[in-house]
Amino acid sequence: MPTNSANKDTIGSPYSDPFSTPGEAAGGGGSLPASMTTPADLSELVAWWSTEDNLNISNGIYQFTDKSVNGLDLYQVTSAQRPYLRAAKYNGLPVAEFDATGDFLPNTGFLDKLTYQSNPVIWAYVRAGVSTAETGYMFSFGSFDDGISHLVTDTYNTITIRRAASEIFQKYDTRTTTSNVPYTHIYRFDGTSIQYYQNGVQIYDETMSEVPQDSTANMWLGSDYGGTTQSYRYGYFAEAFFANQDVAIADVHTYLSRWT
Residue 220 to residues 17, 30, 198, 213, Cα–Cα distance (Å): 32, 33, 22, 17
More reliable by pLDDT, 5 or 105: 105
Angle at 103 between CA 243 and CA 182, to 5 degrees: 55
Residue 185 parent element (H or E) = strand 182-189
User: What are the pLDDT digits (tens) for 139-176?
Assistant: 456 566 666 666 666 566 777 777 766 777 778 777 76
CA 179 to chain centre: 18
- The tens digit of pLDDT for each residue in 66-118 reads 999 999 999 999 999 999 999 989 999 999 988 878 888 888 888 788 887 77
The mean per-residue pLDDT over the stretch 212-239 comes to 76
**pLDDT above 50 (res 4):** no
- Please tell me the pTM assigned to this model: 0.81
Q: Are 15 and 193 in contact (CB under 8 A)?
A: no
Per the CB < 8 A criterion, the answer to whether 143 and 218 are in contact is yes
- Read off the pLDDT of residues 7-26 as tens digits, 9 standing for 90 and up: 333 333 333 344 443 333 33
Residue 45 binned pLDDT confidence (cut-offs 50, 70, 90): very high
Q: Let me know: does 116 contact 212? Beta carbons within 8 Å.
A: yes
3 state DSSP class of 67: coil
How far is the C-alpha of 146 from the C-alpha of 159, rounded, in Å? 13
CATH code for the part of the protein at 39-259: 2.60.120.200
| DSSP letters for 186-214 | EEEE-SSEEEEEETTEEEEEEE-SS----
Going from N- to C-terminal start, the domains of the chain cover 39-259
Contact in structure between 231 and 174 (CB atoms under 8 Å):
no
SS3 label, residue 257: helix
Tens-digit pLDDT profile for residues 170-180: 787 777 677 78
Q: Of 23-37, 39-53, 104-118, 221-235, which gets the smallest average pLDDT? A: 23-37
Max Cα-Cα span within the chain: 50
